[in-house]
Amino acid sequence: CFRKAHVKKEQEAAKKWPEEWGFLTTPFTEVTDKEKGQHGKLRLEVPEHLRVRSTTPVENFIKVDPSPAVPQTTQGLVGWRSTVPSLQLERYGKTKHPKGDFCKRMNWPAEGIA
């Protein structure tokens, strides 16, 4: 019946366990002692394209200009950084529209979107 089949499966698993999982019964100190002797012997040569390169400082790639003075009024805070040309987000000119400009297709003025 069900119980006998279950007991039979457990007995079969108990017989197979040492072959498949017996390495887990080895004490940890015994495993580490074996590996200590082999630590210096195992050296692999890493190919050039897989080696870790030294890091380059970010300052070599990104130049950060000082910010303009903070406006004295809250009204002046609106767009105070975008008025400086070097701090604008669109550094490479206006956005190009490969499928055509939506404003032109709808006969809207360009200022209608902004």
In a domain, 28, yes or no: yes
pLDDT in tens, 36-94: 766 666 677 889 888 888 888 888 887 877 878 888 888 888 877 777 777 777 767 76
Does 81 map to a domain? Answer: no
Domain range holding 22?
A: 2-41
pTM of the complete model: 0.26
| Residue 107 covered by a domain | no
72 occurs within a structural domain: no
Q: Is residue 87 part of a domain?
A: no
Helices first, then strands: H and E counts in the chain? 4, 0
Q: Evaluate whether residue 50 is within a structural domain.
A: no
CB 4 within 8 A of CB 10: no
Does an H or E element contain 14, and which?
A: helix 2-21
Q: What is the count of structural domains for the chain? A: 1
8 belongs to a structural domain: yes
